[in-house]
Amino acid sequence: MIVAILGDVHGNREALEAVLTAAAREDAEGFWFLGDLVGYNPDPDYCVAEVLSRASHAVRGNHDKAVTGLLSVRWFNPMAREAVRWTRRTARADTLRSVEGLPEGPQRPLPGFVLCHGTPWDEDEYLIGETAVVEAFRWMRNDGKARVCFHGHTHRPLCCRLRGGPERPEALPGEGLVAFEPGCLYLVNPGSVGQPRDGNPKASFGILDTDRLTYRTLRVAYAVQETMRKIEAAGLPRELAWRLSGGA
């Protein structure tokens, strides 16, 4: 089965539409979601309905929790906090109920595969830097069943492999085709659909072939000017529009 792996959509309708079109071109039949449907961008209702009508497996993100009151916005930066409050005020009641119903990670959609938002042990922690990568692989070793762990939250694509023994993790180019080898562990972040932060403004998502055991990160251009216009029209902080144009 071809599975599209989406994370950090954050209410960006134009980016999500472009990603769903690209996923259809890849013949994706399955959808897995890594958290953060809402926050930052102006179309929570559309994004929640579209993703949840498709995803067989999903986990919640920190913005999903904040919007539904499960997490305090005290530690959010002022822009993120304002976007959380805006979403609470403007999203439909059924949208907020769906977001509230998102399960905590990790989830296991198929044997060997794990989905989480931040890390498998803490949904709010950022998996950044070599120490965190080593710790994540240690978690997978101890778990014994996880071979590929998909995560989100950083809004930056990442693909790391750990071969057996004491070898150090290797970073792989996720935009090429990665073949999952037996005996290796993989840590994969497909990047963010709705607010990429790796300097590339194109929407980012992953395509997994569960039969061939291959993976690829795809980047898709979308109508970013339209999203920026809607952010300003909605009265959301202007910085949220500017950062989309630079992928920052």
| Residues near Zn ion, by CB under 5 A | 8, 36
How far, in Å, CA of 80 to CA of 118, rounded? 17
Contact assessment for residue 42 and residue 234, using Cβ atoms and an 8 Å cutoff = yes
Query: Which position's Cβ is nearest Zn ion?
Result: 36
Q: How far is the CB of 1 from Zn ion (least distance, A)?
A: 26
Give the residue with the Cβ less far from Zn ion, 5 or 162.
5
How far, in Å, CA of 34 to CA of 5, rounded? 8
Give the residue with the Cβ less far from Zn ion, 210 or 227.
227
Per the structure block, which two tokens stand in for 174?
């996720």
Give the residue with the Cβ less far from Zn ion, 95 or 192.
192
Q: Is the dihedral of CA 146, 148, 152, 156 positive or negative?
A: positive
Q: How far is the CB of 203 from Zn ion (least distance, A)?
A: 13
Q: Is 27 left (phi over 0), alpha (psi -120 to 50) or beta?
A: left
Burial letters 158-177, b for 16+ CB under 10 A, else e: bbbbbeeeeeebeebebeee
Helices 224-234 and 238-246, axial angle in degrees (round to 10): 170
Give the residue with the Cβ less far from Zn ion, 143 or 198.
198
Q: How far is the CB of 152 from Zn ion (least distance, A)?
A: 6
Q: How far is the CB of 2 from Zn ion (least distance, A)?
A: 25
Nearest to 28 by CA among 223, 220, 202: 220
Give the residue with the Cβ less far from Zn ion, 36 or 125.
36
Q: How far is the CB of 124 from Zn ion (least distance, A)?
A: 11
Q: How far is the CB of 151 from Zn ion (least distance, A)?
A: 11
Give the residue with the Cβ less far from Zn ion, 5 or 185.
5
Contact assessment for residue 59 and residue 115, using Cβ atoms and an 8 Å cutoff = yes
